[in-house]
Amino acid sequence: MTRLKADQRHSVRFSLNGKSVEGEAEPRMLLSDFLRHQLGATGTHVGCEHGVCGACTIVVDGMLTRSCLTLAAQVDGCDLKTVEGLAPSADRLGVLQQAFRRNHALQCGFCTAGILMSLDHYLASNRAPTEAEIRDLLSGHICRCTGYTPIIQAALEAAAELASSKKETSDA
């Protein structure tokens, strides 16, 4: 493993939502800060900086990751997915995002990005989750506005919709 010099900036390259990006970071720079302030990907938010609130959650190489507990230098060469990569296009929302809007599953929207990332990641491999499973998954996220139930409802609706659209596709 390369030893980085503490007082120097180092080049960091990775794939962000399918596009290659590059920037410079001191070894101590957090991934969340790098995404937001170096790359301008401000959709990922920072709420507690100690891994409890879940707002900064992103996907790194297929793994849910707290970007506030990850150094930018650690993800050099990795494949990252953030909230900016969820919508199919700039003027359309994905199935999960639409379910959130329909169910009023967000108010201030600050914690939402992390919750969406956890759900997007989970629903990709869990077609028919139960409410208890969704509640367990999301227990690592704090939302102060909604009281959670609309989020759970949105997740279950999105799961059902995704499952039926998958079914239609496979039937066709």
Interaction site with another protein (CB under 8 A): 26-29, 36, 41-50, 52-53, 55, 71, 82-84, 86-87, 90, 93, 97, 100-102, 104, 106-113, 116, 134-136, 138-152
Nearer to another protein, 55 or 159 (CB): 55
Q: How far is the CB of 172 from another protein (least distance, A)?
A: 28
The two three-digit tokens of residue 13, written as one number:
């390259």
Residue 47: CB partners within 8 Å, gap ≥ 6?
53, 54, 55, 56, 110, 111, 142
Nearer to another protein, 151 or 159 (CB): 151
Q: How far is the CB of 21 from another protein (least distance, A)?
A: 15
Q: How far is the CB of 79 from another protein (least distance, A)?
A: 18
